[in-house]
Every structure is written in C-alpha cells, then in structure tokens.
Amino acid sequence: MEDAVRTELMEALHPIVKRKELIEAAPMSRYTTLGFGGPAELLCEVSTLEQLLEILRITHRLGVPVNVLGNGSNLLVKDGGWQGLTLHLGEHFAEVGLPEALPDGYYTITAQAGAALTKLANAAADAALGGLEFAAGIPGTVGGGVVMNAGAYGGEMKDVILSVTCATLAGELKTYTNAEMAFSYRRCRLNEPGAQPEIVVSATVALIPGDEETIRVTMREFNARRREKQPLNQPCCGSTFKRPTGRFAGTLIDECGLKGLRVGGASVSTQHAGFLINDEEGTAADYLALIDEVQHIVLEKTGVLLEPEVHIVGEELSEDTR
C-alpha cells in the first residue's frame, strides 16, 4: 500500500489494536502449515468481534485490501507475499460456547471463526453430542472449515451447520441459514465466483445427543486412520487437489506413477499421493511448479484435470528481489 495510506491506517488502528498485535512483514512461513510463503505486508491479530468490525470499517474507508488468515492449513502464499492488511483470526478469536438445547432435541454450539475444528469437535464430545466426529483431526479453523465446507470420512460441515455469521468488508454483520450458505463440495456462497467478499466470524452447529464413549471411539479411529495413511509429520496442506467426480485424486496420481516426484524442495508424498509436501525447505514456486507438473501428467495420461483444493494467494516474487 502507498506510504500515506499506510501511515493513516497505522494511526487509525493504534487506538484499538495493541502494538504487539500489529506485525509488519510477517513471514507466512510461520503462519501456514506448508512452511513457506512471502511476508504479509501488515498482519493484525484480532481478539474481539467489536475490534474486527472497527478494523474493517477503517480499511473500507481507506480502501486497504483485506486478507483473512486462520490456521493456514489450506493456504499457499506465493513467495512475493501478501499485500494489504491480513487479519489473523486465531487463538485470540477462538471462543467455543456452551451447548444450548433446541425444542427438537438437538443442541447447538456456537464457535468463533478462529477456533480449531478439533477444539469444537472435542467440545461436542465433552457434551456427548454427536455429528462432528469427522472433524476431530482436520487441522483447520471453524472459519476455514465453513468456507471450504471441510469434510472427511463421510461427514461435512454442511451436515451440522445451523447458521453462519459473517462480516462484510464494510464492517456489517450478516447471518445466514444452512440453506442460504449454499454448501456443495468444498464450496459455499462465500467462495463462489463473483461473490461479495465476507468474513466468517462465527458458526453455530446443531448436534444430536449420543454416547460420549462411542463418540470418542469414533474420533480415535478416524485419527488413527489419518496417522496411518497421511504424511502428518511433513509440512503440507492436506489434500492438495479436489476429488474429481467419481474418482480420487490420490489414486489417479498414484496410478500415474508420481509418488516421489520432486520439484525443488517439494514432492509428492510416497505415503499418500494426494498430498504434496514441502519436505526439503521448498518455496511456493517449487510447490506451484509441482502442482502444474502433476496436473499435466495426470491430464495427459487419464484425461482428468485435477483442480487444486489449496487456496492460492499472494504475489509472485519480483525479479529485483530474487
């Protein structure tokens, strides 16, 4: 952003944001599970809803671009970094409420966007509420899980969401029902082409009472399957590609003999071909080149074009900084 705008933004933010919560040139390697990416021009740790809304009103007035960062588990920031103001909805914006009964026998739990999906799943299990077992090992946040309609082992967020509250970039709140969110495979109204930008601030799930031990056993089984089949000890973003209709991305990549394929510091996991990993301190450029290579080979051999599931943002590294 221009120096004058940056100065005005900093002056407007200082009364509502603590100095330690504003980080200049924050390296995205520290904020994403892939472990690489250029710096966020300015990053703000958000701690309250009121603070978030006021920040959005300020950025809207000044015309400053706004980015949203959760756990960074499905995010690839290019080597040139992320321009504008990046709002980190993390551990300081992660409250999970207590269960509340509904007339139909279900119970609701409301969680802020920065809460880990595992935290929400465990809160449900503590209350002997079933339906979120699938989310026990997903490494993202509630906000990211809603936007991507995160799912695993036959369950998806759309199965449990009752309502979602969002903030517009002008700092206004809107609440949507499950139907209004228009969930589909790894999509919802918030990431449809042409959608007006909005930020998830909280989500309310509706869950059915069950047996706590049965719920815990299911969660442990899902997590054991993840540990056995997925490279959880390697920097990655989970499944790199979306599931093609009627097929599995990992199976297609494996059938094409691409396990272990490497570009620079990034490679196709030998444990699960659907996971592209940063196992040798690679760059975003390495990872993107590997994505391109896998797409090209799979398309050539199978006729299937794999679509990235990882959210790719930021700027390419400029020539004068290489």
Using CA atoms, how far apart are residues 49 and 180, in angstroms rounded to an integer? 22
Q: Tell me which residues are annotated as active site.
A: 186, 239, 309
Instruction: Give dist(CA 126, CA 120) in Å, integer.
Output: 10
On the CB side of 168, CA atoms within 13 Å amount to 11
Check if the beta carbon of residue 63 is closer than 8 Å to that of residue 5: yes
CA–chain centroid gap for 82, Å, is 16
Report the alpha-carbon angle 227-231-235, nearest 5: 130
Helical H runs in 17-116? 49-62
Tokens of 81: 């970094």
User: Which residues in 27-40 are b (16+ Cβ under 10 Å) and which e?
Assistant: bbbebbbbbbbbbb
Q: In terms of residues, how long is the chain? A: 322
**How far, in Å, CA of 251 to CA of 222, rounded?**
20
Closest by alpha carbon to 134, among 124, 257, 48? 124
Token duo for residue 98: 């207590």
Amino acid at 270: T
